[in-house]
Structure 1
Amino acid sequence: MSIEMILSILDKLEKMHKSLLELAYHKTEFIKTGDMDGLDQLLKDEQSHVAAITQLEQQRQQVVTDYLKAKGIASAEHATVAQVMEVAETPIEQLKLDEARKKLLLVIETLKHQNDLNQKMIFQSLQFVNMTLDMLRPQPDQINYSQTEVRGSTIKTSFDSQA
């Protein structure tokens, strides 16, 4: 078994993560503009990307495990590309694997950073909404109840708040 299958899957994973990164950039714009319909559609697109990435990752895991078994190495539960690099037949194969691995890790790190930014922006938006609601909601000391007397008993009937 050659490393070409592993390299092919790593390349597909990199492309899918780059596509997901583009969606993350679009998400940033939707958050900035408050486009909820666009954000909703984008989240659906993200879910399909994540499903495809999950499937590719399972394929990668299986191919790496098969490669290591073919080399006579009983791999752990999660076989890694780094393990394959250690037993690769030639320095060129090691270099190709290392290059593909680094490119994928770079895209994943960039995606993680962009998702963190989006998460912070959403959190700030929620804080702003909560602050606005708190300002509009009457405070307990601002509520004045009027009392109405009905056949000898006093009933609080309505309130007047200062907004």
Structure 2
Amino acid sequence: MKSIEQLKEALQQELNMYQQVLEMAKEKTQIIKQGRLKELEENTSKEQQYIRTMGTFEKIRRSIFTNISQELEIQEPSSVSELLLHLEEEEASHIDDIRNQLLEVIHRLEEINKLNEKLIYQSLEYVNFNIELMTTSHETSSHYGEKEAGNRKTVASLLDIKV
């Protein structure tokens, strides 16, 4: 059946795309650890392009589901799992293998994205801490151990604003 082959091809392409995004997420972890902001920006931009393309695959899959439901004269399935119940064992097995691989890649991607989120949060906390140190004015005396309050000077902060 042509629609089944189209589904297999679409799922395989989607799997390949998710694998590429997974590799980019792994690279992003290293980029974040090394503090390479320009590369982080470029990596994020590429990820956004992939995400837009992935939305297209969802539409394609829905269209294929509609065609399969008409060919098999069944109600349109809401998921790949539901569709598998209506297919021959060999076709169902092949599609299920691709689906399982896809789910595993998505799971690993979620884990890496959580790690990246934590790393970015820690980096932001570090930056905020340093900004606080630089913008806080400190009172220091001009001479060590001098008790006279009139001789104290206030050190102006390096930066007067917090971004």
TM-score using structure 2 length: 0.80
**Identity across the alignment (%):** 27
- 1:24-76 CA-to-partner distances (Å, cap 9, x unmatched) read 11111110111111111111111111111111121012102321232222336
Alignment partners' CA distance in 2, 1:94 and 1:12:
18
Q: How far off its partner does 1:110 sit?
A: 0.7
Q: Residue 38 of structure 2 aligns with which residue?
A: 37
Q: Residue 155 of structure 1 aligns with which residue?
A: none
The structure with more strand, counted as a fraction of residues: 1
Amino acid at match of 1:160: T
Q: Residue 160 of structure 1 aligns with which residue?
A: 154
Q: Residue 156 of structure 1 aligns with which residue?
A: none
- 1:117-158 CA-to-partner distances (Å, cap 9, x unmatched) read 10010001111111122222226xx569xxxxxxxxxxxxxx
Amino acid at match of 2:26: Y
Gaps of 5+ in 2: 141-152, 158-163
Q: Residue 70 of structure 2 aligns with which residue?
A: 69
Q: Residue 131 of structure 1 aligns with which residue?
A: 129
Amino acid at match of 2:113: N
Verify the 8 A CA contact 1:138 1:161 in the aligned structure 2. no
Verify the 8 A CA contact 2:25 2:113 in the aligned structure 1. yes
Verify the 8 A CA contact 1:13 1:57 in the aligned structure 2. no
Alignment partners' CA distance in 1, 2:71 and 2:44:
40
Q: Would you identify which runs of 4 or more consecutive aligned residues in structure 1 move more than 6 Å?
A: none
TM-score using structure 1 length: 0.80
- 1:63-92 CA-to-partner distances (Å, cap 9, x unmatched) read 02321232222336xx2111110111x211
- 1:78-113 CA-to-partner distances (Å, cap 9, x unmatched) read x2111110111x211111111111011011111111
Amino acid at match of 1:13: E
Q: For the aligned residues, what is the CA RMSD?
A: 2.0
Mapping for residues 14-29 of structure 1, pairs under 5 Å: 14-29=15-30
Gaps of 5+ in 1: 145-158
Alignment partners' CA distance in 2, 1:126 and 1:10:
37
Amino acid at match of 1:19: Q
Q: How far off its partner does 1:162 sit?
A: 7.0
Q: Residue 81 of structure 1 aligns with which residue?
A: 80
Q: Residue 145 of structure 2 aligns with which residue?
A: none
Moved more, 116-125 or 127-136: 127-136
Alignment partners' CA distance in 2, 1:45 and 1:162:
43
